[in-house]
Amino acid sequence: MIAADEVNGKILYQDTDHMFIWLGADPESASGVVQTNQYLIIDKGRGVLLDPGGIHLFARVVAVASRYIALDKIDAIFFSHQDPNVSSGIALWLGVTSAKIYVSSLWLRFLPHFGIVDQSRMVGIEEFGNTFKFGSGALLRFLPAHFLHSTGNYSAFDERSGILFSGDIGAAVFPAGKEQLFIDDFTAALPFIEPFHKRYMASNKVTSLWVRQVRELKPRLIAAQHGGVYRGDAVSAFLDWLGKLTCGIDTIESIYK
Ligand code: FE
């Protein structure tokens, strides 16, 4: 269960200049909607939002984020991919912040279908480059995560906190009432992780490439957009499992049976 004092967010990392914050639980997760997580990085008083979510979450995410930072100090919003649960709030976010949106170039012409979007505030990561620099000099690294599951897809590694935001990778779908913020025991959580990855992730070729680059970063925590935040031994246990997973087109005969 998500503890009562965690509903309005939890600081996952903090030093004098830099914070990485989980923005709390979606109360609808209790009614069978997949639990979604939003995250906020604050560096030198300026904010970056990670996958702030769809329209129905907007009011709650605004309320929780505002406890930590004024909305006009949010400079950037990162979307791992184009799914509505990640990005359908885009027009609302552009309205209440002056942030730029960082997303794979593949989705620049699709996201405006979620509302009126000023294209001059959209930044394609392929053209921008793979690092975003915070005021302190710390780096947010955009990591290719294409085909996991989206065609144009990125993870984001916050070097200073050692936290990897993995988007849909590592997503867990916990039964109602069993939601948890941290995943400590990977084996116990696996039944809630495996079905999604076997069907949505493109193939072992891609999962193993992603795992290889993530291992080099040695993340302290892996924070997914659905489900929980991997910590301790669960980080390497998850990477070991994902690197060997057969999924997607590896199992195409069973999908087309
Ligand atoms: Fe998705």
Q: Per-residue pLDDT tens for 215-247?
A: 999 999 999 998 899 999 999 999 999 999 999
Q: Give the Å distance between the CA of 54 and the centre of ligand 1.
A: 12
Q: Give the Å distance between the CA of 150 and the centre of ligand 1.
A: 7
Q: Per-residue pLDDT tens for 103-122?
A: 999 999 888 888 877 899 99
Instruction: Round the CA-based radius of gyration of the chain to a whole number and report it.
Output: 17
Q: Give the Å distance between the CA of 233 and the centre of ligand 1.
A: 26
pLDDT above 90: residue 77: yes
Kind plus residue range of the DSSP H or E element containing 233: helix 233-244
Q: Give the Å distance between the CA of 35 and the centre of ligand 1.
A: 13
Q: Give the Å distance between the CA of 117 and the centre of ligand 1.
A: 21
Instruction: Give the domain ranges of the chain.
Output: 4-252
The helix/strand/coil state of 190 is helix
Q: Give the Å distance between the CA of 149 and the centre of ligand 1.
A: 6
Please state, in angstroms and rounded to a whole number, the distance separating the CA atoms of residues 16 and 90: 30
CATH no. for 4-252: 3.60.15.10
> What token pair was written down for 28?
């609808």
How do beta strands 229-230 and 182-183 pair? Answer: parallel
